[in-house]
Amino acid sequence: MNTKGLITKLRNIISVGTVISLTSVVTPELPQTGDNMIAITILGGNPLNNLCGVQEYNITCRTLIRGTTNDTTTRELADKVFNCLHLTSNIEFDSNNIIQIIAQAPVFVGKDNELRNLYNITFRIKEI
């Protein structure tokens, strides 16, 4: 498995899907400053060997979205991230293939020290 390639591909998917309102997509955590930023983190995963000798991965990831003090625009950004990830399929990178991404709905997790809204989206990837 190529985690660097996976993170790069996910960053590109999100950057293209949210191009108008997004400042930056980073890994693995948000910097202290800046509005409309997203951090992608791999939370864990399990390799599975099927009977045909093909190794599959079930990977859990998350995006932490920091918007602005305006919850409406932050929620809009979170919805854009959800829409560009959920049910995305057949994505090739390097020698790997993402079969499908299943995302959970954006969840409000609080505000940072500058009172900017934070949302989390957890998603699962099936990759071969």
Strands of 50-111, DSSP E:
55-66, 89-93, 96-103, 107-111
Angle, in degrees to the nearest 10, between helices 71-85 and 3-17: 120
What is the tens place of the pLDDT at every residue in 49-68?
A: 766 766 788 999 999 999 99
Q: What are phi and psi of 105, to 5 degrees?
A: -60, 150
Question: Running DSSP on this structure, what letter comes out for residue 105?
Answer: P
What is the tens place of the pLDDT at every residue in 66-117?
A: 999 999 999 999 999 999 999 999 998 888 889 999 999 999 999 999 999 9
Q: Looking at this protein, which amino acid is placed at residue 54?
A: V
Residue ranges of domains in the chain, CATH in brackets:
3-127 (3.30.2000.10)
What is the tens place of the pLDDT at every residue in 20-42?
A: 667 888 998 899 899 999 999 99
Write down the pTM of the prediction.
0.88
Contact 109, 62 (CB under 8 A): no
